[in-house]
Chain A
Amino acid sequence: MVACVIKNGESTSIVNIPTVDYQDFYKAVIELLKDKPHCHCINYFAYRNSYDLKFIICIANDDSGEIQLLSHTIIYSAQIELMSLSKEIFALHFFEREISENFGIIFTNHPWPKPIRYAFDRADKEKNIYNYPFFKIEGEAIHEVGVGPIHAGVIEPGHFRFQCNGEYVHHLEIQLGWQHRGIEQLFIKKNKLIQRNILAESIAGDTVVGHTLAFVFNMESLYEIKESKKLSLVRTLALELERIAVHVGDLSALCTDIAYQLGYNVFGALRTPVINHFQLWCGNRFAKGLIRTGYSGYEFTEELSIKFQKMLEEFEIKYIEMAEEMFSLPSVMSRFEKTGETTLEQMQLIGAVGMAARNAGLKRDSRTTHPFAYFKNEKFETETLPSGDVYARAKLRDLEIKSSLKIVKNIIKELNTKKEEIINQRIDLEDKKMLPNTISVSITEGWRGEICHCAITNSESELIHYKIKDPSVHNWLALALALRENEISDFPVNNKSYDLSYCGHDL
């Protein structure tokens, strides 16, 4: 069977997606994913379509840059049993759990059939977040440590349950869902474009640009708007600045966790000018208000261009000096190296994306494999490291900050040749209609990794389903694996080395 093929940011009529019965779907998915490290599932979800429940899977082929779509439909009723794909393709475990929780579908032979977020409209309201079925092990030196949902610091809530063997973590189970705000459902309920735009900015307030870009790419595809060259430049500029700001903030936080005060203070102070320049540009330190459908919330003026260049020059000098010092300190390296190791095989198995994949040698970066905006026309070499430990995750940030600085400088140079073009003219789309009966899929590479949004419209051109996938969905399990046979006291530095999103996962 031939799946429907589109590229990143494109849309296609729903009827173009081959719909087959579950047996064929099962076989086709295994064929597309099994033993194919260059292919991975970017989204797999179900939605109600009158009496039917329609399942759609989106599989990205990193070699060809294509996205393959496949679907199957069942007449909906809860307690329907389907053979689980997760036994064969483990990376699908999250998606099957999500579908099972939302619609009551039972995936037989699922290795880990537990709820993921206790959505308010879940199928089984008897199950609630306070009686989550944790794994248990027994033994003389075995003890449990429960942390959260409220943590010690100023941080989002989540629950961590450590099964410890003495001081060592045998297994860490991460129970999320505390942040669930019903955001996907609100995308349907709120029908103004600006409301949906604000929602996209609130999916994860630390990845405003990454998520909002994925949203506007979908909208622009459904409203048939073409992104101008200048618009694609300023958007990429924002995306890479966001990466620099968060990475340097995370390096600061990593230093806190190993009690390296100089690094904590200097990296913390270095984040400030970057986000302050967002504020200079769009009035908000997190770039809320900047990314809009069809236009840019704020112009990137010549005056800004000069200020940005000056800031980046100073940033680079101060940053490189501090980073060189930190990565050459034996006391830092002894805490980073061989702490929280993960392997390439593990990351492939769980379908890790972004930094969690790249720090263990798995080259997965949608900027190169499924390019969008600026990256469509520019060659870009992604950074990977082999060791998969806290050191690799810290060092990868260092490498990515440097490569993003290069991109940002190139973009500013290119923008200087496009001073005349105006991109901040508001476009009113309230009277325009989206393409009817269409699915649109977009991928962006936020600082955590691959973000994928899918939007589906009905025959009246109304949005009927909006599916968000934050990279954390795959990567939380990487943290759990990294912790195995590590000292429990190394949890904070491991957790910070991934810095995954709670609200992006819980939605």
Chain B
Amino acid sequence: MDFRIINTAKIIKRQGRQYIPNIELPVLPTNFKNGRIEITELPCKEGCNACEENCPTSAIAINPSLSLDMGKCVFCNECARVCSEDKFIFTNDYKTATNERSRLIIKEGIKQPITLNPELIRKEIHQYFGGSLKLRQVSAGGDNSCEWEVNAAENVNFDMGRYGINFVASPRHADGLVLTGPISSSMAAPLESCYHAINHPKLLILVGVDAINGGIFQDSKAVNRTFLEKYPVDLYVPGNPPHPLTFILGILELIRKQK
């Protein structure tokens, strides 16, 4: 049976090192379309509202001043395509998670990175979860792209487990709930009972545009988002779907930052 061991060793050797040693360092391709968006200060063409008009999810508002809500954005690049003045820049900055919804609304000329607001982080979060965090994921109408990316956060490349962050099967074992999807009406009740099964203190993390705002489903009669009116959200992870690095870095900032 020796040849088996040789085969296995060969495969492992060829694979080499797969994990990313420092997950803050990778540089994503400049063509990346799920990162921070900038709106330049170049003047708009007189009377043009093509971006607002063509945005599929009404993420862009022209009045009173041009802004783009990354919590509503499906990152389709349509605004950049229809704009004659190159106002919209999709950067490869993947650190876009935040705990304050308004920080996702981008205004003209803003180039600062998106961070969490330390004032809004409950002080027990660092104390309880700083070294270990167990999460229960619920997909409520998610299209399986966010779910794949959340799964990828645990694979050999991103290896979220090294920070003590893992997914668990039972909400009883979990410290927080990771929600994907616009919350289909049928999943509203199971989602809520899962949330209640988690002990206090608990986190609520919204992953992807569908969870944050409903995305393209925001005005569907088959979704029921009342759950989010009742419970506080600790982290918004924008993207369609968000990159695994956005997810991991967002959580790390949340559990490591102290007020």
Contact = CB atoms under 8 A, between A and B. Distances in A.
Contacts of A268: 155-156
A225 interface: no
A205 B148 contact: yes
B253 interface: no
A154 B190 contact: no
Interface string B134-152: 0001111111111111111
Contacts of B54: 192, 194
A60 interface: no
Interface residues of B, number: 68
A478 to B, nearest CB: 19
Interface of B, secondary structure class, is mixed
Contact of A181 (B15, B156, B182, B241): B182
Interface string A171-209: 000000111111101100110101101110011111010
B77 interface: yes
Given A178-B186, A181-B141, A283-B90, A269 B222 contact: no
A180 B184 contact: yes
Contacts of B186: 118, 129, 149, 177-180
A178 B189 CA distance: 11
A141 interface: no
Given A202-B216, A269-B18, A501-B144, A180 B34 contact: no
A285 B152 CA distance: 11
Interface centre among A154, A195, A285, A288 (most CB of B within 10 A): A154
A178 B190 contact: yes
A282 B31 CA distance: 7
B89 to A, nearest CB: 12
Contacts of B14: 317-318, 321
Contacts of A325: 7-8, 11
A182 B221 contact: yes
Interface in B215-242: 215-217, 219-223, 240-241
A149 B141 CA distance: 12
A53 interface: no
Given A152-B169, A186-B217, A281-B31, A198 B76 contact: yes
A153 B168 CA distance: 8
Residue from the set B10, B147, B152, B216 with the largest chain A CB neighbour count within 10 Å: B216
A204 B143 contact: yes
Given A157-B190, A249-B148, A288-B76, 6 more contacts: A150-B138, A157-B187, A206-B145, A269-B18, A279-B31, A298-B31
Interface of B: 4, 7-8, 10-12, 14-15, 18, 28-29, 31-34, 54, 56-57, 74-78, 81-82, 90, 137-152, 155-157, 167, 169, 181-182, 184-187, 189-190, 194, 210, 215-217, 219-223, 240-241, 243
11 contacts: A179-B141, A180-B185, A182-B217, A182-B220, A186-B216, A194-B56, A204-B143, A269-B155, A272-B152, A272-B155, A325-B7
